[in-house]
Amino acid sequence: MEIAPSEVILDEARSHLEKALEIEPDFTQARLALARLHYAAGRQEQAITLLREAIDSRPQFSDARLLLAEILVKTDEEEAIGLLQAIADIDLSDPVSRRRLARIMIERGDTKKAADLLTRVVDLDPLDGEAHLQLAILLEHPDEYDRARLLLEIAADLLPDDSRPPYQMALLLLRGEYTDEEGNLIVNPDTEGAQKHLHTAIGLDPDNGPAHLQLGQMREKEEDFRSARRHYKHAIEDQGSKGYGYLYLGKLAEKEGRTKEILPFLDKAVKQPSSRGDALLERALHFLGEENLPKAEKDFKAADKTFASIEFELSKASDKASEKANFARARRLQEEAFVARRSRGPVLLNLAKISLSKGKDKQAVPFLESSIQANPGLCEAHFILATLLENTKRDDEVLAHLETVLEANWSHLEAHFRLGERALAGNDLQKAEMHFLIVTDLDPAHKKAKQRLGKLAKK
């Protein structure tokens, strides 16, 4: 087999370097060059040995430590971190070691340390666009809003052909969380500004799926369904956004009455981990609308399990962020965990309704209780549970559930009627009359309320 000329040259270079070391054993630059050749050829052990010898003979030799850290980062991360930290300690003006350390810290989830390191990198190398971008992404606290925005503007100037800075700027503007001079949290999303940056991102990268998703959602809210569909179809071409691309296409098909397209899109969305929970819920609701209770129940149960898993993982990640003193990140992750928990509310409520449709009232009660625990604001769950608990050993809980319904929705006619009935049974005639009058105000034709008011008038 004929050896490629490049390999011949490499072998000759390696031979010269080995001779140089024979002549001068302390020639550290030769060790480094030879180590690089071994590393490039996949001979890591030989490279590691040469680099350790170079460091031993010349402890201040940062280049050898840097290459050794690069080799060890996948097998011995702790030693790699120690090597990089040693370089940073030796050379206070070295951005390379700090940049690599920051990357490791990001992968470990220690974003606070990563932000501190990248802050120093930006100071040392003001033209490092990637460092500006990554630092801006890490600054999640509302206090850092203006700083993050400035960093993204600089990153966009330094990386003019990169779609990430304008996309991240759009996310920052959509989040719109910042603090005023007195430290009060202000939430003021800039949708118009975000749209401009999303269009810029797509102009730089037509395949930027997440940007297409955001724009699709905006167009759909404006009822520009044609444009929304176009953006969603672009989104499914990107692996990172295809799950929600399929989900939104399915929901849009249902909104537009394209019935044949709904399930194929939802089926594909269910298969994607990123959108599985939301897609299962949407598909279950679709089956429910078709009165296909077995399939709806199966999807609701799978959705509940998925949302519970998402909540657990996000809460765990939030705890880790808190342990590392990154409280802004911890708060955001906890908010996402609450969203997953609240998503379980309607899932469990519908499972309760399916149980009721089968005549399994006792089975519905724990579903309703879990639904309320997941999402305390679900009026319907409180009301149905109140009706099931009436005249049982737990009748004393009914009043609290009915009052919770009215706190959230004062116009809930049947909650007023049932409270009127309970007041009447307890001989609280004034309270009973009040609730029945509210019912007739809401529905002048309500026969039972009118009858009750007639009886009260006679008393």
One-letter-per-residue 3-state SS of the chain: CCCCHHHHHHHHHHHHHHHHHHHCCCCHHHHHHHHHHHHHCCCHHHHHHHHHHHHHHCCCCHHHHHHHHHHHCCCCHHHHHHHHHHHHHHCCCCHHHHHHHHHHHHHHCCHHHHHHHHHHHHHHCCCCHHHHHHHHHHCCCHHHHHHHHHHHHHHHHHCCCCCHHHHHHHHHHHHCEEECCCCCEEECCCHHHHHHHHHHHHHHCCCCHHHHHHHHHHHHHCCCHHHHHHHHHHHCCCCCCHHHHHHHHHHHHHHHCCHHHHHHHHHHHHCCCCCHHHHHHHHHHHHHHCCCHHHHHHHHHHHHHHHHHHHHHHHHHHHHHHHCCCHHHHHHHHHHHHHHHHHHHHHHHHHHHHHHHCCCHHHHHHHHHHHHHHCCCCHHHHHHHHHHHCCCCCHHHHHHHHHHHHHHCCCCHHHHHHHHHHHHHCCCHHHHHHHHHHHHHHCCCCHHHHHHHHHHHHC
Token pair for 94: 């070295």
**Average of pLDDT values for 293-313?**
97
**Which of 25-34, 165-174, 200-209, 233-242 shows the lowest mean pLDDT across its residues?**
25-34
Q: What does the alpha-carbon distance between residue 424 and residue 277 come to, in Å, rounded to a whole number?
A: 45
Instruction: With a cut of 70, say whether residue 302 has pLDDT above it.
Output: yes
Contacts 24+ apart (CB under 8 A), 7-12: 10/37, 10/40, 10/41
Helix axis angle, 398-408 to 413-425, nearest 10°: 140
Mean pLDDT of 149-161: 98
Query: 383 exposed, middle or buried (CB, 10 Å; 0-12, 13-18, 19+)?
Result: buried
- Percent of residues, the chain, with pLDDT higher than 70: 93
Average the pLDDT over 339-357 and give the result: 97
Please, where in the chain does CATH 1.25.40.10 lie? 206-274, 381-458
Beta pairing partners, 179: 185
Asked if pLDDT for residue 40 goes beyond 50, the answer is yes
**What is the C-alpha to C-alpha distance for residues 348 and 354, in angstroms, rounded to an integer?**
10
Higher model confidence: residue 6 or residue 41? 41
**Beta-carbon contacts of residue 225 (< 8 Å; ≥ 6 apart):** 219, 252, 255, 256
Q: How confident is the model at residue 352 (pLDDT cuts 50, 70, 90)?
A: very high
Question: What confidence score (pLDDT) does residue 91 get?
Answer: 84
Is the pLDDT confidence value at 27 over 50? no
CATH of domain 206-274: 1.25.40.10
Q: pTM for this one?
A: 0.83
Which pLDDT score, from 0 to 100, does residue 30 have? 66
For the cut 90, the answer to whether the pLDDT of residue 55 exceeds it is no
Task: Name the band, by pLDDT with cuts 50, 70 and 90, for residue 259.
Answer: very high
pLDDT of residue 28: 61
Averaged pLDDT, 215-233: 97
Q: What is the pLDDT of residue 317?
A: 93
* Mean of pLDDT values over 432-439: 94
Please state, rounded to an integer, the average pLDDT across all residues of the chain.
90
* Residue 56 pLDDT > 50: yes
Residue 107: pLDDT over 90: no
Q: Summarize the confidence of residues 312-317 as an average pLDDT.
A: 96
According to the CATH classification, is domain 381-458 in 1.25.40.10? yes
Instruction: Please determine, for residue 11, whether its predicted confidence score (pLDDT) is greater than 70.
Output: no
The pLDDT score that the predictor gives to residue 83 is 86
Q: What is the mean pLDDT of residues 117-144?
A: 95
pLDDT reading at 65 higher than 90:
no
Q: Worst-scoring range by mean pLDDT, 8-17, 54-63, 221-230, 276-285?
A: 8-17
Q: Which region among 83-87, 234-238, 431-435 has the lowest average model confidence (pLDDT)?
A: 83-87
Summarize the confidence of residues 251-255 as an average pLDDT: 96
pLDDT of residue 60: 73
pLDDT interval class at 6 (50, 70, 90): low
pLDDT at 5: 46
What is the structure's pLDDT at 459? 66
